[in-house]
Homo-oligomer: A and B are copies of this chain.
Amino acid sequence: MTVATHTASRPCRLADVPHWDGEADALIVGYGIAGACAALEAAEAGASCLIFELASGAGGSTAMSGGEFYFGGNGGTPVQRDHGFADATEDFLNYMMMAGGPGADAERVRLFAENALAHYEWLQAQGVPFKGTYHPARTVEPFTDDTLVWSGSEAAWPFSERARPAPRGHAVQQEGMGAGRVLMEKLVAAVTVRRNIEAQFDTRALALIADADNHVHGLVVRSDGSERYYRARKGVVLCAGGFVSNAEMLRRYAPDALRIGFHVSGGNDNGSGIRMGMSVGGAAIHMDQFFSTRPFIPPECLIKGIFVNERGQRFINEDAYHGRIGQYIMRQPSGNAWLLVDNSIFERPKLFPNIEVAAVGEHWAEIEHELGMPAGELVHTVETYNRHAAAGSDPIFRKHADWLQPLTEGPFAAMSFGDSAWPAAGFTLGGLATLPTGQVIDPEGAVIPGLYAAGRTACGLPRWGEGYSSGMSLSDASYFGRLAGRHLAAA
C-alpha cells in the first residue's frame, strides 16, 4: 500500500491506517517536563504509556531552562514560610490573574492556586531537589543552589497594589544556572526507573490518527526512516513545546516575536504539536503572545537606573520583572531603549557583560546629545526622577522606594537595550485551548475526544507577555501535564 506523506496539519484517517505497529493507553508526544509529568501521573493511575521524542534524549526545552517553578498560596510553601512569607491563596491567585492578562483563565488559575503546595510536594516525591533556602537579592535565577527567589513583578506596581507581594520562584537545587537539566534528570529517573515507562527517541510525530468525526485514536510517527502507526487506547497527549523555532509560524501568528534573537528552546519548538491539535479542530489561542527579555539583572543595583526611549521618556517602573520590561522595550519607537546609570550603580549585566555603553558623560546633557535625543527631554526626565527619588517617591512610574536613589554621581552612562545591541531571549505562550483536564477543545468549547495537550503546546497559565513571571511555564507544564495524565487514565 502506498502511504501518503503525513503532515502535522492533516490527520491520518483511521480508515487509512495500513497496520498497527504498537499501542498503549497513552501516547505522549514530547519528553520535556509536561510529557514526563503526564506519563508519571497516567502510570500512577494504571495507564500504560509510550513517549515519543524527536531528539536523541529526554529534556526538551525544560532541560535548557532555569529549573524554576512558581509556587505559593495556602499560607506559603515550607520555604516561603521559613523565610517569613505567609502567602495567602488569594494573593497568589490575584497575582496570577493579573499576570494572565486580559485573557486569563480563572478556572485554571484557581485550580493551580489551591493545589500548588501539594504539587510542590509531589515534585519532591519524584526526586526533584529543592534546598529550601532563600536568595533575597534580585536576580534572573539563582547562581547558587538556593531555592526561593523573587521571580516576577510581585513587589512592583501595579501588581503590588492588588496582591500582597511574596517571592514565589522556587529553583531546583543546583549550583549555578540551568537547573532545568537536573530537574529533567530526576524526572526521567522517575519515569524510567520507578515507572518503567518506555520512550522512543529520534522519533518524529508526523500526524494524529483520527476518525471522520475527528476523534483521536493514535499517532503516525517516523523512526528509522519509516512510518509507524500507534494506537492510543485512551488518548494522545501533545507535549511538544511551543513554536519559537518555526519562523513561518511566527510570521503568521506572532510576527513581533520574529525579533527574538535567542530562542529559549531545546531547538525543537517547531509548533508541530499545536498544528496537530488544530488539524482535528482544536482551537489555538493567544498565539500572538510571547515572553521576551534582556535580563539586565543581576546585579540588582541596576534596578536603581532608569530606562528611557529615544524620545528621552521613561516608560516603565524599572523594578518590574525583566520580561515585562522586555515587552515594553519592544514597543518603544524604533524598538530602542537605554538604561541610564550613574557612577554609584554602574556595573555591567552579569549575563551580558559585553553590553554596549552607548554614551558616557559628566552631565546628563552630554548623554542626551550623544544619544541624539531631542534637546532637554532626557535632562528633564532625569531631573524629575532625581527630585522625586530624593524625596523617596516616584509619582510618575511608581518604582518602589527601595530602588529610588537620585542619579547624581558622575560620570553617567547609557547602556543599549535595542534589538541590534542586545537581541532578546524568549519563547511563545500561545497554544491549544484546553480544559484544566488537558482536554483539547474546539473554538466553541467542545472537547476533541482522545486529545490532550500540556506545556507550551497548550495555552496555559502564562498567556500574556507583559505578565509572564519566571517559573510559570514549568509550573503550568508540570501541574497540568499531571492533570492530563490523570484524566486520560480515568477515561
How far does the Cβ of A18 sit from chain B's closest Cβ, in whole Å? 15
Name A89-108 residues within 8 Å CB distance of B. 101-103
Q: Which residues of B contact A292 (CB under 8 A)?
A: none
CA gap between A311 and B399 in the complex, in Å: 14
Q: Identify the closest chain B residue to A14 (Cβ).
A: B212
A residues in contact (CB < 8 Å) with B: 7-10, 13, 15, 101-103, 212-214, 248-249, 251-253, 255-256, 258, 271, 274-275, 278-279, 281, 283-289, 311-313, 331, 374-377, 380, 384, 395-397, 433, 442-446
Q: Which residues of B contact A253 (CB under 8 A)?
A: 285-286
User: Contacts A212-B13, A212-B15; is A442 near B256 (CB within 8 Å)?
Assistant: no
Residue among A251, A258, A281, A375 facing the most chain B CB atoms (10 A cut-off): A281
User: Contacts A311-B397, A374-B396; is A7 near B444 (CB within 8 Å)?
Assistant: yes
B102 x A213 contact (CB < 8 A):
no
CA gap between A271 and B313 in the complex, in Å: 40
A446 x B7 contact (CB < 8 A):
yes
CA gap between A80 and B214 in the complex, in Å: 53
How far does the Cβ of A9 sit from chain B's closest Cβ, in whole Å? 4
A281 x B214 contact (CB < 8 A):
no
B279 x A442 contact (CB < 8 A):
yes
A10 x B396 contact (CB < 8 A):
no
Partner of A102 from B13, B255, B279 at Cβ < 8 Å: B255
Copies in the complex: 2
CA gap between A244 and B110 in the complex, in Å: 28
CA gap between A289 and B286 in the complex, in Å: 11
Q: Which residues of B contact A286 (CB under 8 A)?
A: 252-253, 255, 288
A283 x B213 contact (CB < 8 A):
no
User: Contacts A374-B395, A446-B7; is A252 near B331 (CB within 8 Å)?
Assistant: no
Q: Identify the closest chain B residue to A252 (Cβ).
A: B285
Partner of A283 from B102, B278, B376 at Cβ < 8 Å: B278
**21 A–B pairs (Cβ distance < 8 Å), ordered by A:** A8-B443, A9-B281, A9-B283, A9-B442, A102-B258, A212-B212, A249-B443, A252-B285, A253-B286, A255-B286, A271-B443, A274-B443, A278-B278, A278-B442, A284-B284, A288-B289, A311-B396, A312-B396, A313-B313, A331-B331, A374-B396
Q: Which residues of B contact A331 (CB under 8 A)?
A: 331
A396 x B384 contact (CB < 8 A):
no
How far does the Cβ of A341 sit from chain B's closest Cβ, in whole Å? 22
Partner of A252 from B13, B384, B443, B446 at Cβ < 8 Å: B443
Q: Identify the closest chain B residue to A4 (Cβ).
A: B213
How far does the Cβ of A234 sit from chain B's closest Cβ, in whole Å? 22
Partner of A287 from B248, B251, B287, B376 at Cβ < 8 Å: B287
CA gap between A396 and B258 in the complex, in Å: 28
B397 x A444 contact (CB < 8 A):
no
CA gap between A444 and B15 in the complex, in Å: 23
Q: Which residues of B contact A275 (CB under 8 A)?
A: 443-444
